[in-house]
Structure 1
Amino acid sequence: MSARLVRLIDRLRERPHWLRAVFFGLLGLFLVYDVFAPRHGAHFWGDRVRGFWAGFALVGGLVMAKGMKGLGHLWLMKPVDYYDGEED
Structure 2
Amino acid sequence: MWRGIVCGVLAGAFWGAVFIVPVLLPDFSPLELMAGRYLCYLCYGALAAGLMLPRLLPLLLAYGVKLAGVLWFVRRHAQKDGAGRT
Q: Does TM, normalized by the shorter one, top 0.5?
A: no
TM-score of the aligned structures, taking structure 2 as reference length = 0.38
Structure number with the bigger relative contact order (C-alpha 8 A, sep ≥ 6) is 1
Larger radius of gyration between Structure 1 and Structure 2? 2
Which structure shows the bigger proportion of residues in helix conformation? 2
